[in-house]
Chain A
Amino acid sequence: MSDTPILEMQNVNKSFGPVDVLHDISLKVRAGEVLCLLGDNGAGKSTLIKTLSGVHQPTSGDMLMDGEKVRFDRPRDATDRGIATVHQFGGTFPLMSIGRSFFVGMEPTKGWGPFKRFDREKANAIAVKAVQDFGITRIDDGDRLIGGLSGGERQSLAIARALHFGARVLILDEPTAALGVKQATHVLRVVNEAKRRGLAVIFITHQVMHAMAVGDHFAVLIRGAIAADFKKGEKSREEITDLMAGGESMSDLEAQIDADNEGQSSQAGAA
Chain B
Amino acid sequence: MAILKCNELTKQYGSVCALDHISLTIEPGRIVGLLGPNGSGKTTLIKLANGLLTPSSGEILINGDKPGVESKRFISYLPDRTCIATWMTVKQLMDFYMDFYGDFDVDAARQMLSRLGIDEKQRVRQMSKGTREKVQLILVMSRKAGLYLLDEPIGGVDPATRDYILNTIIGNYNPEASVIISTHLIADVENVLDDVIFINCGQIVLTSSVDDIRENNGKSVDALFREVFKC
> Are both chains from one complex?
no
* Interface residues in chain B, defined as those with a beta carbon under 8 Å from any beta carbon in chain A: none
* Interface residues in chain A, defined as those with a beta carbon under 8 Å from any beta carbon in chain B: none
